[in-house]
Structure 1
Amino acid sequence: MEPLALDVRLDGYNDPVGVLVRDDRGAVAFAYMEDYVSNSDATPLSLSLPLSPEPYEDVIARPFFDNLLQERDSALTDIMAREGLSRDDVAGLLFHIGKDCAGALSVLPMGAPPVKVPGDYDHDYTAIRPERLEAIVASLHKRRRLPEGTEDPSPLAGVQSKIALTLLPDGRLAEPNPGTGAPTTHILKVPDQEHLQDALLEAEAMSLSQKLGFETADVVAMPIANIDTLLVTRFDRGLDREGRIVRIHQEDFAQALGLPASLKYERRGTEGRRFDVAGIRRVLEATADPTGEKDRFIRATLFDLLIGNTDGHAKNFALLFERGQSVRLAPRYDILPTRLDDSLTDEFAFRIGSAQRLGEIAIQDFDAFLRDMGIDSAPARRRLRVRYSDEIASALAAHLDELNKRGMKRFADLIATNIRTLLGNLEVDVPETAKERDAFLGSAGGWLLS
């Protein structure tokens, strides 16, 4: 294997911030540029790659850069076949597709000019004609190739079909003009033929998250070509002083913990190398407001438990990096009541104490969860258990009738059933509005909502 060196660029900086190299054995290493490390305005690429003049060897560098590749290997099939590359040749793959990494990063051949620059609404985008948008949605819905001439400018991880687009000020969806390097502003999610209601369910879950006070990405359900899609506002975008769209550097928790995407669930890892509460705590303690971020994460975990979202894995939580080294928890995103789908596991992405499922959570498990999150005082843990579970359950219970009126009875029944189960196990009073609702018994009718 031939050695290879690549420039690593971060949108907003004129020069490469580092170099990624592959040796003749296929091992990779990463090093920051010396001038970049000494810059007071420098931003680390990751919590797992703090600013340092020393290089990072394969065991540390590989997981971060592997996470820049698309999570679904099928998306890499063409480039692997055409170039004769294996999936573990991270640098070789990035040589060909590193210009299209999701987010503010790009990995380019040495000396190549920047490919990611701010976007001007007036000059860098072309509105998508209605018939073309319908064709794009139909292709994503049926998991077919996108229409000719359509190239997702920001390949996205995950298993749902989606494409990155830009919402123009006049409300039309648009694509960046080829060669501009302009950012997208939104993600359009399109459910497949087996999960026609995903967009509506995610819209409801995200709306509930906002109503309960969690910072949450804005979403809107949009019917296109008789398919309910979901338009999600990207939380890693902003406007500069000239009104241009700019990228904000972010990373997910898998990258922050130095884990490959394959270890995004606790059950797939081993002690010391897995996505668990201990790792989550390490990430949150590296933010600018550790106490506040841990508090928010605890409450968000309760929210997920009660709405039936068991898929809060390491790539569904992210950090935002402000200029310099200030880091904060990103808004919530990818919230879906996965327990409405009987084909999906009810096992948690990370354990709560020793519990792996909702019905297994006992007082000692939630106490262990709080202790692992850094709440050392036993009386404080007792107060938080009662206070947070009561507050979040009561707030959700207040929205059950609204869900019913919008044809979401099964979702409302799931929430009420989860409230009764969890609060009963935690010895906390169940809100009256959740006591008498029908029990959620699983999906007898597939994804029908009422």
Structure 2
Amino acid sequence: MAILAHCGRECIGDVLVWYTDDEPAPTELGYSPLALDELAGIVRGLPESSAENASSRLSLAGTQNKIGLAHNPNLDFEHGWLRPKGLAATTHLLKTSYLRDLSEIEYLCMSAAAGCGIAVARTHLLALPTPTLAVERFDRNANVVGGVLRVERRHQEDLAQALSLTPGSKYAELPGGSAASIARLIRSKSVRPARDLAQFARTLLFCYAIGNCDAHLKNYSIILEASKRDGEPLIALTPVYDLVSTTRYPRFSRELAMAIGGVRAIDDVDPAALTNLANDLGITKAALQKIARDILDNAAGAIGAAGDGAYGPVFDSTPYVADDLVEEMGPRLEVLDTFCIG
């Protein structure tokens, strides 16, 4: 709690934390312009980004180096960056990594997911000295009113929280299977259960296709809606985030964070496991086959298009990263193809 009190004025969701004798004044709110060279200095390395987060009292979890900033939605991504002051909320997370090509891989995976009909957090590659990915926050609503940026925080919680699990249990397979448990939560609590269940199923198959073995319970989130059922607020799945091909890195485990049809090793997933997944989700095999066909028809092409700059500016190296990513997906796309015709 002491750490949160010092680094909890800008958390995930709409939570603010401070000592009772250090309650911030309502006037502690606003933004200061941030030039591109200043931004480059902030993302240069871990000491610089840590100092920036400490000064803004920002609390962000995760393995990648992250910085929270705001951006004026009326300007392009070479301009309009803002440093929050006091209680002002951020609108974007800027992510860097020591892993080679990770920013580009995440950008390609997120862009391809959108091309496969998955609602995703919007991302942009920034041409800074350190390869940087800017991710728009889905737990913020940002508008410019009278020339002033106004940002509203929105409540969200990841599925580990929603299912009453500690962060240390984010890789745990829930009794009866995590996919089945999440499907039940969606059916009972979602304001749009059919849409959210389709989004979840599509994301599971897409993560399998790209080789994302790290799609754990904290990589899926819900947001509270105003509607209620039996006096309790309803939920909706948030846009998807943190989509990365982990199989591109030999050092990482090839065990799936969430089993597919009872199978944890990504190389052991076969058409029978995908049939079991349909049963776990409570949908027909034909419905899951249609989703798999959409991914087969669109994923590789969308990765290639993103690498060629179809969705936004990219680096000179991005087309080659895209080619490697598509090639590595090949065996899993063959499994999806067999499942579709079986």
| TM-score, reference length from structure 2 | 0.82
Please tell me whether residue 412 in structure 1 is matched to residue 326 in structure 2. Answer: yes
Shift of 1:207: 0.7
Q: How does 1:181-330 map to 2 (within 5 A)?
A: 181-192=87-98, 195-225=99-129, 227-239=130-142, 242=145, 244-266=150-172, 271=175, 276-285=178-187, 286-323=189-226, 325-330=233-238
Q: For 2:152 and 2:7, locate their aligned partners in 1 and report how far apart those are by CA, in whole Å.
A: 21
**Consecutive unaligned residues in structure 2, runs of 5 or more:** 228-232, 309-318
Per-residue CA distance 1:100-130 (angstroms, 9 max, x = gap)? 43321123445874678996xxxx1112234
Per-residue CA distance 1:397-430 (angstroms, 9 max, x = gap)? 4346547762122101022232013433x2638x
Q: For 1:372 and 1:314, locate their aligned partners in 2 and report how far apart those are by CA, in whole Å.
A: 16
Which of the residues 305, 317, 331 maps onto 2:239? Answer: 331
CA contact (8 A) 2:115 2:299 kept: no
The 3 A distance-change label for structure 1 pair 146 and 106 is: closer
Shift of 1:310: 1.6
Per-residue CA distance 1:347-393 (angstroms, 9 max, x = gap)? 11111122112332233322222222223xxxxx2312432222211
Please tell me whether residue 164 in structure 1 is matched to residue 72 in structure 2. Answer: no
Please tell me whether residue 154 in structure 1 is matched to residue 67 in structure 2. Answer: no
1:370 aligns with 278
CA contact (8 A) 2:10 2:90 kept: no
Q: How does 1:95-134 map to 2 (within 5 A)?
A: 95-110=5-20, 113=23, 124-134=30-40
Per-residue CA distance 1:31-55 (angstroms, 9 max, x = gap)? xxxxxxxxxxxxxxxxxxxxxxxxx
What amino acid maps onto 1:428 in structure 2?
I
Shift of 1:344: 0.8
Shift of 1:395: 1.4
CA contact (8 A) 1:253 1:283 kept: no
Shift of 1:341: 0.7
What amino acid maps onto 1:217 in structure 2?
A
Per-residue CA distance 1:220-241 (angstroms, 9 max, x = gap)? 101212x210011111111479
Q: For 2:15 and 2:203, locate their aligned partners in 1 and report how far apart those are by CA, in whole Å.
A: 28
Larger radius of gyration: 1
Q: For 1:116 and 1:322, locate their aligned partners in 2 and report how far apart those are by CA, in whole Å.
A: 27
Shift of 1:282: 3.2
Q: For 1:282 and 1:329, locate their aligned partners in 2 and report how far apart those are by CA, in whole Å.
A: 13
Shift of 1:288: 0.5
Which of the residues 253, 263, 266 maps onto 1:345? Answer: 253
Per-residue CA distance 1:272-321 (angstroms, 9 max, x = gap)? 8xx81232123322111112211111111111111111211111111112
Secondary structure, counterpart of 1:351 in structure 2:
strand
Percent identical among aligned pairs is: 27
The 3 A distance-change label for structure 1 pair 105 and 146 is: closer
Secondary structure, counterpart of 2:196 in structure 1:
helix
Q: For 2:144 and 2:225, locate their aligned partners in 1 and report how far apart those are by CA, in whole Å.
A: 16
Q: For 2:89 and 2:334, locate their aligned partners in 1 and report how far apart those are by CA, in whole Å.
A: 45
Q: How does 1:7-156 map to 2 (within 5 A)?
A: 91=1, 93-110=3-20, 113=23, 124-140=30-46, 146-147=50-51, 151-156=55-60
Secondary structure, counterpart of 1:105 in structure 2:
coil
Q: How does 1:407-446 map to 2 (within 5 A)?
A: 407=320, 408-424=322-338, 426=339, 428=341
Secondary structure, counterpart of 1:293 in structure 2:
helix
What amino acid maps onto 1:288 in structure 2?
V
Shift of 1:337: 1.0
Q: For 1:111 and 1:347, locate their aligned partners in 2 and report how far apart those are by CA, in whole Å.
A: 47
Per-residue CA distance 1:5-49 (angstroms, 9 max, x = gap)? xxxxxxxxxxxxxxxxxxxxxxxxxxxxxxxxxxxxxxxxxxxxx
1:447 aligns with none
Q: For 2:180 and 2:21, locate their aligned partners in 1 and report how far apart those are by CA, in whole Å.
A: 41
Larger RCO, structures 1/2 (Cα 8 Å, 6+ apart): 2
CA contact (8 A) 2:191 2:225 kept: no
| TM-score, reference length from structure 1 | 0.64
The 3 A distance-change label for structure 1 pair 116 and 240 is: farther
Indicate the RMSD between aligned Cα atoms, in angstroms. Answer: 2.9
What amino acid maps onto 2:119 in structure 1?
E
More strand per residue: 1 or 2? Answer: 2
What amino acid maps onto 1:343 in structure 2?
R
CA contact (8 A) 1:106 1:115 kept: no
Q: For 2:7 and 2:68, locate their aligned partners in 1 and report how far apart those are by CA, in whole Å.
A: 16
What amino acid maps onto 1:107 in structure 2?
V
The 3 A distance-change label for structure 1 pair 427 and 215 is: closer
Q: For 2:290 and 2:165, locate their aligned partners in 1 and report how far apart those are by CA, in whole Å.
A: 34
What amino acid maps onto 1:165 in structure 2?
L
Secondary structure, counterpart of 1:319 in structure 2:
strand
Aligned residue pairs, count: 318
What amino acid maps onto 1:230 in structure 2?
L
Q: For 1:265 and 1:152, locate their aligned partners in 2 and report how far apart those are by CA, in whole Å.
A: 31
**Consecutive unaligned residues in structure 1, runs of 5 or more:** 1-90, 376-380, 430-450
The 3 A distance-change label for structure 1 pair 115 and 259 is: farther
